[in-house]
Structure 1
Amino acid sequence: MTTVQEQDVIELLLAQHQQIKALFTRVRQSTGETREQAFQELVRLLAVHESAEEQVVHPAARDDAGDAVVDSRLAEENEAKRALAELYDLGTGAPGFDDRFTAFEAAVLSHALHEEQEEFPLLRTRTDPARLVRMAGAVRAAEAVSPTKPHPGTGENPVVNMIAGPPVAIFDKMRDAVQEWRRSQAD
């Protein structure tokens, strides 16, 4: 079993892809508060995952996978941010949520498959293994200061994400804490 210190960036991202798939299933199969909690967890994971990929993985993959592959993944991620923000604003109990969520799930899973088949194999074969391990640490660091909600206006530029990400992340985490406190008061 690989320890966190030994895990490379591709292993980390593949594990997150599995978590994302499991959360999609939990949202689809649950109702009420359980569904809302699963959706909030999915929103948080997708937001930090995509932000970290945009800051660390895609810039590194440009040399290995090429501009066309990376630009396609960035466009998919930007579209996913917009769709996720709309779903977040809509709420899990709203009419039309299920149909939009199903379409969103299909797009995200297609995006993950493209990364796994086009970007990750080239990154794996053309990047020094020690660098891939260091990149996993950089992804974890980027996730720690990434927004926990989708912010489509930030775009897909890694520099914009690094500048705007931490202040937006602080706001998101404060909002998350207040919402959690409110939920605890209602119980």
Structure 2
Amino acid sequence: MTATKNVVQMLTDQHRHIEKLFDEVQTTAGEARARAFAELRRMLSVHEAAEEIVTHPNATRYGGGDVVEARQEEEHEAKELLSSLDGMDTTSPDFETGIARLRGMVTEHARNEEEQEFPLLLAEAGPAELEKMAAALKAAEQIAPTHPHPAVGESAVLNAAVGPLAGLVDKVRDAARSAMR
């Protein structure tokens, strides 16, 4: 076994990190909560865009089209909810309700990936290919948007085409907001 993590290990680690970010959002207040939500929003946006570009097409290629289609539907619903929470006052009751609902959606989605999509990748792709997918995932994360863009959908082609521009716009917007604080 190599020291390099494969794509399934990387994504599973990210799922655990996302769980911790939800904990932080739900147990903090004020500016700390706003910062925790900003990190959660960024992580979810980058994570899903990278999956849409790298892992979903490979799982589909290995015969998991139905599994991927169901995951994409889950992602789209979560992305729409995340988009509605983005920019919302993190102290509002609507945010409280929305973040709890989002957590449930994301938790179920991650479990479905880990139980249905990831085993398909592990069964069909060899170790070298899984490591190449990990490298591709890292590359996709570098250009991925940091905010949800539900209008883009869950297409690998659209995410690869629009993602870098959306990612650049998001990063400029994030930097401007940070400078204004």
TM-score bucket (shorter structure): over 0.9
Residue of structure 1 in register with 2:99 after alignment: 101
Q: Residue 89 and residue 182 in structure 1: after superposition, are their counterparts in 2 closer, same or farther (change >3 A)?
A: closer
Q: Residue 2 and residue 25 in structure 1: after superposition, are their counterparts in 2 closer, same or farther (change >3 A)?
A: farther
User: Number of residues paired by the alignment?
Assistant: 181
Amino acid at match of 2:180: R
Q: How far apart, CA to CA, are the structure 2 residues paired with 1:65 and 1:17?
A: 24
Residue of structure 2 in register with 1:151 after alignment: 149
TM-score (ref. length: structure 2): 0.96
Amino acid at match of 1:151: H
Residue of structure 2 in register with 1:134 after alignment: 132
1:48 pairs with one of 43, 46, 49:
46
RMSD: 1.3
Name whichever of 81-90 and 51-60 sits farther off.
81-90
TM-score (ref. length: structure 1): 0.93
Q: How far apart, CA to CA, are the structure 1 residues paired with 2:31 and 2:110?
A: 28
1:58 pairs with one of 46, 56, 61:
56
* Secondary structure at 1:90 match in 2: coil
Residue of structure 2 in register with 1:38 after alignment: 36
Residue of structure 2 in register with 1:160 after alignment: 158
Q: How far apart, CA to CA, are the structure 2 residues paired with 1:2 and 1:43?
A: 32
Q: How far apart, CA to CA, are the structure 2 residues paired with 1:175 and 1:89?
A: 12
Name whichever of 88-97 and 158-167 sits farther off.
88-97
1:175 equivalent in alignment to 2:180? no
Structure 1 residues 103-146: Cα deviation after superposition (integer angstroms, max 9, x where no partner): 11000000000000001011111111100001000001001001
Unaligned 5+ residue runs, structure 1? none
1:7 pairs with one of 5, 8, 25:
5
